[in-house]
Amino acid sequence: MTENAATEIVSSSRVTLSNHSFASDFGLASFQPTRERSLMRSEFTNKMRSPAGTASLGFLLTLVDYVTSDPALSVSAPDWTATQNLSLHAADAVRQGPVLIDSNLVRIGKKAVVVSADVYDGRGLRDLAEFARSIDDAAAMGEEGPVLAGRALVTFVRLPRTAATGADDYRPEEWIGRLRERNIEPVEGDIYSRLRMRVVDPSAGVMELDLTPFVANMIGTIQGGAQALLVEAAAHAIRPGFVSTDMQLHYLSQVRVGPARSYADVVREASDHCVVNIRLVDAGDDDRLLALTTVTMARRAGLDNRVDR
């Protein structure tokens, strides 16, 4: 992720991220106490809710993708990194917010970096230093403290720094020990409609998302969190009575042309949950395979009873 800038990052050869993106109203704040650890806070408004009233899974995965990249980039310097595998498994629903995340380096190798992340419902807690103290001393957290909402694991592949446009202006290692806060900029639409995804065939989970500066990352493809939102929307389209709770994504290639198109297949369905496999392809590049994903969904009525609206 990049800092808010006065102008858009431009490139003559590829689509690159805009100063105004689908995440501009998240109001992100991050604190990196060490190279190996990063904490993040995000606003949680009604725009970020799923059809069941819980925090959108794609929204949470976007945050995870952002916060885990800081330790990955810090320990990989001067290399750049790109998300290769991303998973999030729910432990509870985010009811109140803000969303707080604690990410930690798991492993660094010559070709890949692995970072874990614990996602919390902050339940009103906003101070990241206090958040760190509360989770480091579990006994002091108390009944009113943050509640664990999910656990994530992210694998990054290491790339030459030249692969990313504007990479020289984004060095998270320079922010170690300092708080970064991003301005909140209004974004029209909820977490799904703002992406302007097109529903092609809801019965097959076929949806499309264009490659635009609004959803692009620094290496010119659709940001991993935006792809997760496409997957989540496709899952909800094919099974509207359920809501996504867990997701595994395996990114295989970058979107070169677009749009990214989803195809869904229900592999298991029970009374209270279902499992859906969704593949993403680059529809403008001969349906080249972009990602393979698996989504676990819970019946919506069961979640509605647990969520404070």
- CA atoms of 66 and 61, how far apart (whole Å): 9
**Spatial distance between the Cα atoms of 199 and 73, rounded to a whole number of angstroms:** 36
Closest CA to 98 of 66, 67, 120, 73: 120
244 CB-side CA count, 13 A: 32
Helix, strand, or coil here: 270?
coil
Phi-psi bin for 231: left (phi > 0), alpha (psi -120 to 50), beta? alpha
The type of residue at 28 is: L
The pLDDT assigned to 168 comes to 66
Domains of the chain: 29-304 (3.10.129.10)
Q: Report the sign of the C-alpha dihedral through residues 158, 164, 168, 173, in that order.
A: negative
CA distance 67 to 250: 18
Q: Which of 186, 194, 12, 163 is nearest to 80 (CA)?
A: 163
**pLDDT value at position 303?**
57
**CB count in 10 Å sphere of residue 176:** 15
| Rounded Cα gap, residues 207 and 204, in angstroms | 9
Beta pairing, strands 198-201 & 29-34: unpaired
Taking each helix axis as running N to C, give the angle between helix 57-76 and helix 224-238, from 0 to 180 degrees, rounded to the nearest 10.
Answer: 160
Place of tokens 């993403």: 280
Q: What is the pLDDT of residue 140?
A: 57
pLDDT score recorded for residue 165: 66
What's the rounded Cα separation, in Å, for the pair 229 and 224?
9
pLDDT, residue 120, reads: 98
Q: Residue 105 forms beta bridges with which residues? A: 115
DSSP letters for 209-245: E---TTTB-TTSSB-HHHHHHHHHHHHHHH-TTEEEE
List the chain residues with pLDDT less than 50.
Answer: 1-14, 16-17, 305-309
pLDDT score recorded for residue 302: 58
**What pLDDT score was predicted for residue 41?**
99
What residue type is 185 in one-letter code? Answer: E
